[in-house]
């Protein structure tokens, strides 16, 4: 390592201790003092500053000594390999004879949900070495089908001819199999998310902090290729905006979602994280304009945000939000706007959203395929990342915990803990699978448990 690397590493070590000296001293003093509110506020400000410095130093560390370039190259190579494997799978030498998997695009839900349905089908196809046939006649976003909006997912094999179709699960090796929705599949195969291919995992983890969503992002990258008219419509809308880095993407999902599938979140909850992002960025570079790309299905949010936060410049198209706010959201009219929003959110430097929304999750997954590693470039106000219908998501204990102090549970190193969520206060909630105890878990004592599955290795495709 270089001199700069060693110096920075030592600086982070020393400043982490300084962080604690400060907190310990100030909070200790506070115990005996009156008029606490103003003092606590000042302490929090100091702590936030010190935290930002530490994070910013760590960020620099990750870019030093050519590591950044190495990761960039490796990410591009692995992505390219996955795309070529998918291309190979989708273009069999003899389409007539190829084993196929049929995916019906008739799921009665929004576009984010439908994209995830296709991702599920494509992962299924990849795992079972079947060419995916997308059956999209009568599709709600274009009755003529997916292929009229996006490039087809195969150049040479788009039909199962008149072959007999058998519904999954099948007890014999049927030639053409049709998939149910992920929600209603009996006995979920182990290759479903959040599993990642075993033969690629050791490469992915070296450049990306969240391989599961990176893998999903690769599926989206393969299928989401707008045809010329759609691409032109997207480009035209984007050309009208002054989209420039640095920029933070904010997705605010309201209307029918609130109260049914997610809680209401006020604009200031999102903006607090936008402010954090810019405050930290300003430690290393001047920021002349604090730009925010705002995507929403609530027609009033953009005006409201501009009024409440005049020190920020908001980008966004009110007509897109207006269309999204109405029942028209399931029509072709809404599709262009949503694709613009997704595309823009995924290009932002940082994303603030709610992962309870499939739109928020798709934006993050696309972000993951746009860059080397987006796993530290988002904040979800509610759920941790998940894939609807996924297999169990565990964390594994990397340190022992003696529970009981804070309603937290006990665990030993190596215990698997099924997680329900992170409370973003230092604790999450989960169940120790060894003891069956459910309660709070100090998040820092656990790490994500990555599930590796022996997917086919597609040896025919050169590495």
Decide if residue 111 touches ligand GDP (CB under 6 A).
Answer: yes
Range list of β-strands (E), 326-458: 350-353, 378-380, 394-397, 416-422, 427-432, 438-442, 446-448, 452-453
Decide if residue 110 touches ligand GDP (CB under 6 A).
Answer: yes
Per CB under 6 A, the list member of 359, 366, 372, 397 interacting with ligand GDP is: 359
Closest CB 140 distance from ligand GDP, rounded Å? 10
Closest CB 431 distance from ligand GDP, rounded Å? 26
Q: Which of residues 339-358 bind ligand GDP (CB under 6 A)?
A: 341, 357-358
Residues 341 and 320 sit within 8 Å (Cβ to Cβ):
yes
Alpha carbons 193 and 196: distance in angstroms, whole number: 7
Q: Which of residues 44-83 bind ligand GDP (CB under 6 A)?
A: none
Q: Name the residue nearer to ligand GDP (CB basis): 341 or 365.
A: 341
Phi and psi torsions of 337, nearest 5°? -60, -45
The three state secondary structure string of 381-409 is CCCCCCCCCCCCCEEEECCCECCCCCCEC
Binding part of the chain for ligand GDP, among 62-70, 186-194, 215-223, 250-258 by CB under 6 A, reads: 250-258
Closest CB 335 distance from ligand GDP, rounded Å? 8
Residues 420/417/379/329 CA torsion (nearest 10 deg): -40
Decide if residue 393 touches ligand GDP (CB under 6 A).
Answer: no
**Mask for 270-309, x = binds ligand GDP (CB under 6 A):** -------------------------xxx------------
Binding part of the chain for ligand GDP, among 125-133, 337-345, 399-407, 444-452 by CB under 6 A, reads: 337-345
Residues 191 and 201 sit within 8 Å (Cβ to Cβ):
no
| Residues that contact ligand GDP, how many (by CB under 6 A) | 21
| Rg (alpha carbons) of the chain, rounded to whole number | 24
Residue whose CB is nearest to ligand GDP in the complex, by number: 110
Give the three-class secondary structure for 285.
Answer: coil
Decide if residue 338 touches ligand GDP (CB under 6 A).
Answer: yes
Alpha carbons 151 and 194: distance in angstroms, whole number: 27
Decide if residue 316 touches ligand GDP (CB under 6 A).
Answer: no
Alpha carbons 312 and 316: distance in angstroms, whole number: 13
Residues 427/431/436/437 CA torsion (nearest 10 deg): 20
Decide if residue 140 touches ligand GDP (CB under 6 A).
Answer: no
Closest CB 268 distance from ligand GDP, rounded Å? 18
Phi and psi torsions of 63, nearest 5°? -100, -5
Per CB under 6 A, the list member of 92, 112, 152, 249 interacting with ligand GDP is: 112
Q: Name the residue nearer to ligand GDP (CB basis): 130 or 254.
A: 254
Decide if residue 132 touches ligand GDP (CB under 6 A).
Answer: no
Alpha carbons 106 and 324: distance in angstroms, whole number: 20
Alpha carbons 227 and 100: distance in angstroms, whole number: 25
Per CB under 6 A, the list member of 253, 265, 290, 416 interacting with ligand GDP is: 253
Decide if residue 390 touches ligand GDP (CB under 6 A).
Answer: no
**Mask for 196-235, x = binds ligand GDP (CB under 6 A):** ----------------------------------------
Decide if residue 320 touches ligand GDP (CB under 6 A).
Answer: yes
CB atoms within 10 A of CB 246: 17
| Residue 373 DSSP one-character state | -
Closest CB 95 distance from ligand GDP, rounded Å? 32
Per CB under 6 A, the list member of 85, 221, 257, 429 interacting with ligand GDP is: 257
Decide if residue 324 touches ligand GDP (CB under 6 A).
Answer: yes
Binding part of the chain for ligand GDP, among 138-146, 251-259, 265-273, 443-451 by CB under 6 A, reads: 251-259
| Residue 103 DSSP one-character state | E
Residues 381 and 357 sit within 8 Å (Cβ to Cβ):
no
Q: Name the residue nearer to ligand GDP (CB basis): 14 or 319.
A: 319
Could you tell me the CA-to-CA distances from 341 to 80, 89, 344, 347, 453 in Å, in that order? Answer: 25, 30, 5, 10, 33
Decide if residue 120 touches ligand GDP (CB under 6 A).
Answer: no
Residues 126 and 455 sit within 8 Å (Cβ to Cβ):
yes
Q: Which residue has the tokens 């196809």?
A: 125
Structure tokens at 29: 């003093």
Per CB under 6 A, residues contacting ligand GDP are 109-113, 251, 253, 257, 295-297, 320, 324, 329, 334, 337-338, 341, 357-359
């Amino acid at each position: 390592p270089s001199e700069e690397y060693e110096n920075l590493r030592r600086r982070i070590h020393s400043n982490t201790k300084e962080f604690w000296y400060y907190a310990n001293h100030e909070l200790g003093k506070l115990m005996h003092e009156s008029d606490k509110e103003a003092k606590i506020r000042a302490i929090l400000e100091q702590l936030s500053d010190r935290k930002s410095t530490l994070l910013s130093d760590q960020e620099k560390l990750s870019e030093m000594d050519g590591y950044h370039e190495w990761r960039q190259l490796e990410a591009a190579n692995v992505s390219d390999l996955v795309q070529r494997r998918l291309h190979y799978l989708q273009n069999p030498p003899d389409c007539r004879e190829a084993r196929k998997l049929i995916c019906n695009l008739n799921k009665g839900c929004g576009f984010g949900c439908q994209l995830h349905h296709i991702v599920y089908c494509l992962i299924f196809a990849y795992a079972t070495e079947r060419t995916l046939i997308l059956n999209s006649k009568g599709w709600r976003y274009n009755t003529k089908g997916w292929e009229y909006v996006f490039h087809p997912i195969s150049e040479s094999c788009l039909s199962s001819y008149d072959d007999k179709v058998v519904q999954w699960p099948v007890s014999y090796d049927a030639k053409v199999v049709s998939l149910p929705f992920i929600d209603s599949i009996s006995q979920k195969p182990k290759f479903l998310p959040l599993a990642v291919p075993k033969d690629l995992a050791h490469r992915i983890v070296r450049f990306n902090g969240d391989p599961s969503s990176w893998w999903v992002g690769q599926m989206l990258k393969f299928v989401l290729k707008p045809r010329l008219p759609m691409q032109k419509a997207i480009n035209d809308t984007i050309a009208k905006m002054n989209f420039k880095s640095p920029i933070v993407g904010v997705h605010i999902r309201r209307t029918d979602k609130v109260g049914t599938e997610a809680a209401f979140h006020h604009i200031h909850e999102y903006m607090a994280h936008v402010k954090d992002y810019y405050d930290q960025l300003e430690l290393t570079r001047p920021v002349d304009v604090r730009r925010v790309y705002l995507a929403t299905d609530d027609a009033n949010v953009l005006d409201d945000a501009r009024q409440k936060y005049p020190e920020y410049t908001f980008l966004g198209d009110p007509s897109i939000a207006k269309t999204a706010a109405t029942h028209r959201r399931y029509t072709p009219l809404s599709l262009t706007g949503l694709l613009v929003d997704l595309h823009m959110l995924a290009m932002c430097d940082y994303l603030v959203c709610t992962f309870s929304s499939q739109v928020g999750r798709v934006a993050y997954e696309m972000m993951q395929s746009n860059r080397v590693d987006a796993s530290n470039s988002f904040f979800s106000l509610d759920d941790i990342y998940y894939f609807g219908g996924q297999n169990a998501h565990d964390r594994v204990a990397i340190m022992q915990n003696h529970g009981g102090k804070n309603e937290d549970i006990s665990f030993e190193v190596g215990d698997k803990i099924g997680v329900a969520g992170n409370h973003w206060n230092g604790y999450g909630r989960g169940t120790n699978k060894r003891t069956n105890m459910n309660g709070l878990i100090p998040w820092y004592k656990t790490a994500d448990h990555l599930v590796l599955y022996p997917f086919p290795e597609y040896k025919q495709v050169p590495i």
